[in-house]
Amino acid sequence: MTECGPVVLWSVVPVEVILAGAEAGVPPLREVRVDGRLVLVAAGADGRGTVVRLISGQAQDYLDARFQPGATVMLERG
């Protein structure tokens, strides 16, 4: 399964070979509030995070470039 749903892969190469290391580089994700909006971020080592997903019921929040996937946000220290 992927985030988009089930996937069919037609290949003569074994699936173990194709997917080897696919999960190795995925950083841990956290839900944090940024300017009052809930976002899913991949935390970096420097106190910043990269937006992976915005979780909001307000349509205008999705038009705000600060919350688009790939944007860098400051994480609170705590």
pLDDT, one tens digit per residue, over 52-73 is 999 998 999 999 999 999 999 9
pLDDT (0 to 100) of residue 62: 93
Residue 1 has pLDDT above 60, yes or no: no
Beta strands across the sheet bearing 37-43? 29-34, 37-43, 48-55, 72-74
The span from the CA of 50 to the CA of 56, in Å, is 17
- The single-letter DSSP state of residue 68 is S
- The single-letter DSSP state of residue 63 is G
How large is the average pLDDT for residues 18-35? 80
| pTM: predicted TM-score of the whole model, two decimal places | 0.63
Non-local (6+) Cβ contacts of 56 within 8 A are 37, 38, 62, 67
pLDDT (0 to 100) of residue 77: 62
pLDDT (0 to 100) of residue 3: 62
